[in-house]
Amino acid sequence: MVQALVQAVGMGYRYPSGRIGLEPLDFSVGAGEIVAAIGPNGSGKSTLIRLLATDLRATVGSLSLLGSPVRGSPRALRRGIAYAPDDPLHLPWLTGEENARFFAVLRAPAEGGARDGAAAWDGHIAIRIAELFRAFHLDEVREVPVAEYSFGMRRKLLLLEALAATPNLLLLDEPTVGLDPPGTGALRKEVGARAAEGGAVVIATNDTREIPYWADRILFLHRGRTVADAPLATLLRQLQGRTRIEIRLGGSFGAPDSNPAPVGVAIPNRGSPDPALPGMERIPGVESVEDYGGSIVVESSRGSALLPELIGFLLSQGAAIAEIRVREPDLGDLFQEMTGEKLGSAGEEP
With 70 as the cut, is the pLDDT of residue 109 above it?
A: no
Residues with Cβ within 8 Å of 74's Cβ and at least 6 positions away in sequence, in order, are 54, 65
Q: Is 294 exposed, middle or buried (0-12, 13-18, 19+ CB in 10 A)?
A: buried
Q: Quick one: pLDDT at residue 253?
A: 53
Residue 179 and residue 218: Cα distance in Å, rounded? 22
With 90 as the cut, is the pLDDT of residue 317 above it?
A: no
Q: Quick one: pLDDT at residue 276?
A: 45
Categorise residue 59: left if φ over 0, alpha if ψ from -120 to 50, beta otherwise: alpha
User: By the 8 A CB rule, do 195 and 32 touch?
Assistant: yes
Residues with Cβ within 8 Å of 270's Cβ and at least 6 positions away in sequence, in order, are 291, 292, 293
Backbone angles phi, psi at 298, to 5 degrees: -110, 130
Q: Quick one: pLDDT at residue 252?
A: 55
User: By the 8 A CB rule, do 43 and 222 touch?
Assistant: yes
Residues with Cβ within 8 Å of 347's Cβ and at least 6 positions away in sequence, in order, are 41, 42
Q: Which amino acid is at 341?
A: E
| Banded pLDDT at 274 (limits 50, 70, 90) | very low
Nearest Cα to Cα of residue 90 among 137, 138, 160: 160
Residue 160 and residue 175: Cα distance in Å, rounded? 11
Domain boundaries, the chain: 1-80+167-239+331-350, 88-163, 243-329
The residue ranking higher by pLDDT, 264 or 7, is: 7
Alpha helices in 42-122 (DSSP H): 45-52, 75-78, 96-106
pTM of the model: 0.79
Q: Average pLDDT, stretch 265-293?
A: 65
Reported as a single tens digit per residue, the pLDDT across 137-181 is 999 999 999 999 999 999 999 999 999 988 999 999 999 999 999
Residues in the chain: 350
User: How far is CA 164 from each of CA 32, 40, 91, 168, rounded to the nearest angstrom?
Assistant: 18, 29, 17, 12
Nearest Cα to Cα of residue 252 among 323, 298, 321: 321
Domain 1-80+167-239+331-350 class in CATH: alpha beta
Reported as a single tens digit per residue, the pLDDT across 27-63 is 999 999 999 999 999 999 999 999 999 999 999 999 9
Q: Average pLDDT, stretch 323-338?
A: 87
Nearest Cα to Cα of residue 256 among 291, 294, 286, 305: 294
Q: Average pLDDT, stretch 230-245?
A: 84
Q: Report the share of the chain in percent with pLDDT over 70.
A: 85
Q: Quick one: pLDDT at residue 105?
A: 78
One of 3.90.70, 2.10.260, 2.60.40, 3.30.70 is the CATH number of 243-329, namely 3.30.70
Residue 190 and residue 63: Cα distance in Å, rounded? 26
Backbone angles phi, psi at 276, to 5 degrees: -75, -10
